[in-house]
Amino acid sequence: MATSSNQPVNPDDSLPPVEPPSAAFLVQLFLVPGIIVAIIVCVWLAFHWLAHLGNDPQAYVRTLRRANEGRWQAALNLANDLRGPNGSGLKADVKLASELGSILDDEVGSGRTGEQSETLRLYLCRALGEFTVPEAAPALVRRVNENNDDPTTQAAIEALAVLATNLQNASRSFEDQDDVVVAVLATTTSTSARVRDACGFTLGVLGGEKSIEGLLRLMGDSSTDVRSNAALGLARLGQTDAYETLSEMLSLKDISLDGKVPSDKIQSERYKRALVVVNALRGVTMLVDATSQAPPTDIVKLIKELQQDPVAEIRSSASAVIKKINRIAG
């Protein structure tokens, strides 16, 4: 005889048996997340610590002297702190500048290679360039004199330009300006166009007869970028010899798109061309200000044509130069 379907069912009979959690489950539930949280906290504390080293200059030195792969981060933070709104005290710290130079010497002398070491050297050069005391210069000059055609040499040359500007603004100077100029001049024969390019910029900042001679030689360089930077350096020093290369820079034509959507390569080339032309206009402005004379007629003609250029920044810059020339012409 069949049983009645209306017979009540015990809820406990419909549930699977409950088993106590295993040790592995407890580990996954509590221990693993705890480890992840601990790692996140440690990483945050490490970056927080590095970000606040600026409160103690010697903390930077202690960190940079440790043989670990994270030292480049401390060098980067120091360079940023030196450039920051509260960096005036650090910039004038003679002891810190000397110790950073020693750390750079030690790193180069260690023979270490690889991305971490190279990055550390680059940021140390950058940091040294931000000082306002001449004690920051010797280690940079030593890097330039090594002339290794590597990124460290380029970084040291660029840092000397920044340091020269900072010293001038602080009414100070290099202990031996000639040593700095001679070191950069010797590097103008580098096989690296990037290094020679940096030389052109730095010589324009350093100034003096020897720098002008070096810039005139760089005007005949095989690299367009090097010639351009040499011309801007000469313009900065009021040398009208720059007009020859400035004319080449102003003559660069925009790439015709013919209604097509430009590729990334074409966009990059157009951007570079615009940058070169705007810099050339800046060079003409520096020469007009330095000589109080209008440029040669062929230069003026090129600038007037650029007032109709497709690039708005070029048009506005060209118009500003023409206004300056007209004021001088009376």
Query: How many other CB atoms are there within 10 angstroms of residue 52's CB atom?
Result: 12
Question: Could you tell me which of 221, 225, 243 has the C-alpha nearest to residue 300?
Answer: 243
Per the CB < 8 A criterion, the answer to whether 137 and 97 are in contact is no
Who contacts 177 (Cβ-Cβ below 8 Å, separation ≥6)?
206, 208
Question: Could you tell me which of 104, 204, 223 has the C-alpha nearest to residue 152?
Answer: 104
Per the CB < 8 A criterion, the answer to whether 236 and 230 are in contact is no
Calculate the average pLDDT of the chain. 87
Least confident of 2-11, 27-36, 130-139: 2-11
Q: Cα separations (Å) of 105 from 42, 109, 114?
A: 32, 6, 17
User: Residue 151: inside a domain, yes or no?
Assistant: no
pLDDT tens string 178-212: 999 999 999 999 999 999 999 999 999 999 999 99
Q: Token digits for 183?
A: 């070191």
User: Residue 134: inside a domain, yes or no?
Assistant: no
pLDDT tens string 22-76: 656 555 655 556 666 666 655 555 554 445 444 577 888 888 988 777 899 989 9
User: Residue 170: inside a domain, yes or no?
Assistant: no
Q: How many structural domains are present in the chain?
A: 1
The rounded distance, in Å, linking the Cα atoms of 252 and 256 is 12
Grade residue 2 by pLDDT with cuts at 50, 70 and 90: very low
User: Residue 27: inside a domain, yes or no?
Assistant: no
Range of the domain at 262: 241-330
pLDDT tens string 227-263: 999 999 999 999 999 999 999 999 999 887 666 666 8
